[in-house]
Structure 1
Amino acid sequence: MPSSNLFIRKLEAFHPLSNEEKELLDRHSRPLREVPPKQDIIREGDKPACVHVIISGFACRYKLIKEGRRQIMAYMLPGDTCDFNVFILKRMDHGIATLSRCQVLELSPETVLEMTEHPAIARALWWANLVDESTMREWLVNIGQRPAEQRIGHLLCEILTRLEIVGLAKENTYTLPVTQTDLADTLGMTVVHANRMLTSLRIRDLIDIDARNLIIKDAERLKAFSGFNPNYLHLKGGS
């Protein structure tokens, strides 16, 4: 039976864990910090004192430029660590903020070191970190080379795949607590353009949106249309 702990579920996607290792992770998965939507978890310039793990909700990695415009560089979904080796830095060079209400686990450097004394946990954490890097490369390609409609489709396919890993997507449907402003800041377009591209995907009968639920009506067709290949997510890569 899959663990109810989404941090464990995510790590097990990269490497099998023993019962002892899962018990260790579970023991260190409390307490949780409740963070409201649209709030910084840690700001650019702050000194990182711990590793953050998103247990529920959506968060993002972002940068602000001088004029106040925002570029979102990554989404952190349930089970994701926000740079598990970040505490070696003197100052954050970017911010991490919630997009929705989140439950956040804070792991001290000592706890992370204790976890990495277990080879399977260390391998899973390193693998997760490498997937973060490969995902950033894919996002660069997505923003730089794909047309706007395909950019959004590709991102929606990625979120579907990542949520399926932790059991939060069912029948190609998932909760998407992301505004059109967030999408625009993620994909390098205006809010108006993001709205038009979502409408176009709906007209093509590829997606539907019901309140905050994103319904992918034909996942294989959307993946083909958007050029989505999940190889950069390296699922079960460590097993």
Structure 2
Amino acid sequence: MNGSSQYANRHPLLRKIESIALFALSAEECAALEALPMQAALIDADQDIVREGDRPGRSFAVISGIASTYKTTRAGKRQVMSYHVPGDVPDFQSLHLQTLDISIAAVTPCSIGYVQHDAVRALFRAQPRLTEVFWRATLIDAAIVREWTLNTGRRDAYARMAHLLCELVTRLEAVGLAPDLSCDLPMTQPELADALGITPVHVNRTIRDLKAAGLLTLRNRHLTVHDWDGLVAAAEFDPTYLHLRQEA
């Protein structure tokens, strides 16, 4: 893998769509995406953006920051189902599913852009090929959840952590935000524990073991991978489920 900033000056949503589309977007399609009417909002860390049971008339794109999809038990125990990076539209299913069955929260302070569902439908009528790409994005989201199910259910803690880090670096690099295999990792140890199904103490021990193996450093919530092949091997990581374009 080689770090790239080729998309750095483009709108995050456009960078994301370009990273997964099976065809090169036309200038008209790019302009239509960038012209989507978005209502900007700033969300503080640890605040919900949408909640289970909501019936939204709009979806949102992550412009900056990291968000997470999660569910909770009646006792309040939380399971993080996936993380969302800039360019993602985490609640796009609300375009067709009237009631949300998940909650989405800001892990870090997030800048988001709300788009009314009517505007999305108008975009698809005007640019029908983009319907295929957003449908593909939704299928990729489902593939990520399947991989997370395997990760938390069948891998040990060391491999779970390595796999999560491989995924985050790969997804961030695809949109120009992990140059040279280096990126921010803002999640706290309890937040990582909720994603991996282990205790915060076990998270601390696992990160320490990955550092001791010479695979990475994590300092001031900034991750640098030193041995990508070693981290991939530890994780049994195969990025096929992310369905990224080869050039991305």
TM-score normalised over the length of structure 1: 0.95
- The residue type paired with residue 6 of structure 1 is P
2:234 aligned residue: 225
Do 1:48 and 1:89's aligned partners in 2 also have CA atoms closer than 8 Å?
Answer: no
How many residues in Structure 1 have an aligned counterpart in Structure 2? Answer: 238
Percent identical: 38
Distance 2:53 2:176 in 1: 35
- The residue type paired with residue 37 of structure 1 is A
Q: Which runs of 5+ in 1 are unaligned?
A: none
Choose from 51, 67, 80 the match for 2:75: 67
2:26 aligned residue: 18
Per-residue CA distance 1:199-222 (angstroms, 9 max, x = gap): 110111111112121111111110
Per-residue CA distance 1:48-78 (angstroms, 9 max, x = gap): 2211111110001111111111110011111
Q: Which runs of 5+ in 2 are unaligned?
A: 1-5
* 2:87 equivalent to 1:58: no
Do 1:134 and 1:232's aligned partners in 2 also have CA atoms closer than 8 Å?
Answer: yes
1:200 aligned residue: 209
Choose from 12, 28, 31 the match for 1:6: 12
Q: Structure 1 runs of 4+ off > 3 angstroms?
A: none
TM-score normalised over the length of structure 2: 0.92
Q: Tell me how far 1:87 sits from its aligned partner.
A: 3.2
Distance 1:227 1:49 in 2: 40
Q: CA RMSD in A?
A: 1.5
Range moving further from structure 2, 121-130 or 181-190 = 121-130
* 2:114 equivalent to 1:106: yes
Q: Tell me how far 1:29 sits from its aligned partner.
A: 5.5
SS in 1 for 2:179: coil
Choose from 34, 37, 40 the match for 1:32: 40
Q: Tell me how far 1:20 sits from its aligned partner.
A: 1.0
